[in-house]
Amino acid sequence: MTNIILLGPPGAGKGTQSKKLENILNVIQLSTGDMLRAEVASGSDLGNQAKDVMDAGGLVSDDMIIGMISKRVDQDDCAQGFILDGFPRTVPQAEALGIMLAEKSLNLDHVIELTVDDEAMVDRICGRYTCAKCGSGYHDSFQKPAQEGVCDKCGGKEFSRGVDDNTDTVRARLKAYHEQTAPISTFYGEIGILKQVDGMAEIENVTRQLENIVS
């Protein structure tokens, strides 16, 4: 079993690299952003509470997120391990995660931060789109499907773009990251578990850097 946290600002490549590591390590990606978007789409109470905060680029309450992750980690598909993508995002979330893992007798094997330049993140996020059928991620310039308009993985021909993937929201998300999430790097640095990789390198190169750490 391998349990990993991937840290980094919006657009750093957490989702992109989690998908690669899922295949390499046979573990599962747990993206709190994806979980919240599914709640919003389903119109659940949790989704309705989260929607406005997400649209504004702010952070959803710690309690809501911690409860969501705690339940998710208990599911069978997490038995081989998980990659936390987008969680923890505040120091209270990191502290709660520590307690939660101890209660479940689980270890944290790696905390890896993708370091990037903020300015490049706006282009990365605004050019991002996903296959509407299987959720595979693409980018207008940096990660095109082999055949234009056709998903490499499932052959789907419909794609969607995130409602919060516009310049204004990305800037608000970057601000929230620096104010509320960046202190987590210090938190894990002090525990001595934090490693950093260059997230500005090409996608395949970043994957190789991660593989060197986790394997």
Which residue ranges make up the site for ligand AP5 (CB under 6 A)? 8, 10-16, 31-33, 36, 53-54, 57-60, 65, 86-87, 89, 93, 124-125, 128, 137, 139, 142-143, 173, 199, 202-203, 206
Tell me the helices (H) and strands (E) count for the chain, helix number first: 9, 8
Shorter beta-carbon distance to ligand AP5: residue 53 or 78: 53
Which positions ≥6 away from 8 have C-beta within 8 Å?
A: 14, 113, 114, 115, 116, 199
Distance CA 214, CA 10 (A): 22
Single out the residue of 8, 11, 15, 57 in contact with Mg ion (rule: CB under 5 A). Answer: 15
DSSP H or E run through 55:
helix 45-55
Query: Is 161 annotated as catalytic?
Result: yes
Shorter beta-carbon distance to Mg ion: residue 99 or 142: 142
Residue 54 contacts which entry, ligand AP5, Mg ion, none (Cβ below 5-8 A, type-dependent): ligand AP5
Distance CA 137, CA 16 (A): 7
Angle between helices 203-214 and 14-25 (to 10 degrees): 50
Contacting range for Mg ion; rule: CB under 5 A; set: 7-15, 100-108, 141-149, 154-162: 7-15
Size of the site for Mg ion (CB under 5 A): 1
- Given 14, 20, 37, 51, which residue is catalytic? 14
Query: Is 37 annotated as catalytic?
Result: no
For the bound state, the minimum distance from the C-beta of residue 58 to ligand AP5, rounded and expressed in Å, comes to: 6
For the bound state, the minimum distance from the C-beta of residue 137 to Mg ion, rounded and expressed in Å, comes to: 8
Paired with 81 in beta bridges are 2
Q: Quick one: CA dihedral 131, 128, 179, 14, positive or negative?
A: positive
Q: Quote the radius of gyration of the chain (alpha carbons, Å).
A: 17
For the bound state, the minimum distance from the C-beta of residue 11 to Mg ion, rounded and expressed in Å, comes to: 8
Residues designated catalytic: 14, 89, 128, 161, 173
